[in-house]
Amino acid sequence: MKTLMSIFGGISFQSKFGIINATIVMFSFFVVKTLLLFRILDYSEITNWYEYLSVIFFMPPFFVVMGDIFRRTKTIEEDAYQKLNAIDATNLIVTFNDSGKVISVNKNFCDLMGYTEEELIGQEHKLLVPKEFANSYDYVNFWLNLRNGNSKSGEFERITKNGESKFIMGNYVPIRSSNGKYSVILKVATDITQQHESDVLINQKNTYLEHAAKILRHDMHSGINTYIPRGLSSLKRRLTPEIIKELKIESPIKMIEEGLKHTQKVYVGVREFTNLVKEDVQLDKTLCDLSEILNEYLKTTSYGKQVAIDVLPEIEVNEALFCTAIDNLIRNGLKYNDSDTKMVAIYMENEDTLCVHDNGRGMSQEDFLQLSKPYTRKTNQKEMGSGLGLNICVSILKEHGFTLTSENTGEGTLLRIKIKS
């Protein structure tokens, strides 16, 4: 019915007029014939010329209409053929019989698997799957469900002619034949091998990170918070002010103390973040003066006058995590910066937006979205990095309910942190 409507819906005005004309003529013809049949009218009153005239008026519009319908049907068939060609050109398509043997296969599938069409026709489906799966109960159940008319979709591993693993996202659809049995199985799939390998790599790296986080949370804790502070205190007790002055080591000792304080703060931030991710706990926040906590945090860094902090408001944050995120943004602004005088300014653009503005190379929103993905770095980037820093910053700020965007101002990068919804 829907197909008929689509055919008649697209016919020309002339055809529609012809249909109306033919309908009127045919209706008049049958009315007259009925009246004659029941002898309400006599043949002497109605001459045969009416019948001939009816045919003359009816036949031309009839052929016009049928020609238009034929053309419309042909257009629909051509459109369907083009769509099928598009599906065939962009997908992996295979048909199997109910025994699991290949009936037909398209070029895309042959290219992916390394076989020719002739080599695959008549082969069993299990040729293409891992041996462990082919010999399992799950495989038997897989085909049993298909024979019973149950579709199957998902991610599947397939083995090529040379033994390599390929991964596809596919749909197996049983097709019912005229005898009521599901004798043909149609598979339509796409190659997702590259995506699968990327996901595996990310999972491996995340596993390594989890191990590193365990080491950081437990093993490094003793060194940063116990052994180094005790050793430094013991050294200072043995060195009198006179000896320190004589050896001219006031500055190195101060640098060690500040470096230790900074490392302890970074450790707390990283520990908080890893605990947050691992344990899925709610973020612990307190009302903080942003100017005060950032200035205090940055005292233990080597940024010095390269960072200028304006008057900032009081808001609820996790101090350790928030300072870690801002520190990372500052470090990026100074690191990826070719200016003679590297600078980062932190200020409020308005009551809702905190800005971190550097005079470096500039990073657009498009670049920002790409680089904030895990393990992503610019291909032409000469500086070393893990590809995690910006992603961690975004994650920390997101946990606070904040959003981070980037703009290339032409004179550096302007990062906007939306701190209020």
Tell me the pLDDT tens digit for each residue of 205-244: 677 666 666 656 666 666 777 777 878 888 877 888 888 7
Find how far residue 75's CA is from the centre of its chain.
37
* Listed residue (177, 173, 168) closest to 187, CA to CA: 173
pLDDT bucket at 384, cuts 50 / 70 / 90: very low
CA atoms within 13 A on the CB side of 31: 7
How much is the pTM? 0.46
Arithmetic mean of pLDDT, 120-126? 94
Cα distances from 322 to residues 6, 279, 297, 402, in angstroms, run 61, 19, 10, 11
pLDDT at residue 2 tops 50: no
246-263 pLDDT tens trace: 788 888 887 888 778 777
Domains 91-191 and 282-421 share a fold: no
As a whole number, the mean pLDDT across the chain is 78
At residue 346, φ and ψ (nearest 5 deg) are -120, 120
- Token pair listed for 386: 């893990």
Arithmetic mean of pLDDT, 36-44? 57
Q: What's the CATH fold of domain 91-191?
A: Beta-Lactamase (3.30.450)
pLDDT at residue 411 tops 80: yes
Arithmetic mean of pLDDT, 363-375? 82
Domain 282-421 belongs in CATH node 3.40.50.1110:
no
53-84 pLDDT tens trace: 555 555 555 555 556 666 666 555 555 555 55
338-347, 353-362, 390-399: which has the minimum mean pLDDT?
390-399
| 114 in Cβ contact with 161 (< 8 Å) | yes
Domain boundaries, the chain: 2-88, 91-191, 194-281, 282-421
pLDDT bucket at 281, cuts 50 / 70 / 90: low
pLDDT at residue 362 tops 60: yes
pLDDT at residue 373 tops 60: yes
Give the pLDDT of residue 385.
47
> Running DSSP on this structure, what letter comes out for residue 337?
-
Q: Is the dihedral of CA 231, 232, 237, 240 positive or negative?
A: positive
pLDDT at residue 297 tops 90: no
Arithmetic mean of pLDDT, 262-266? 74
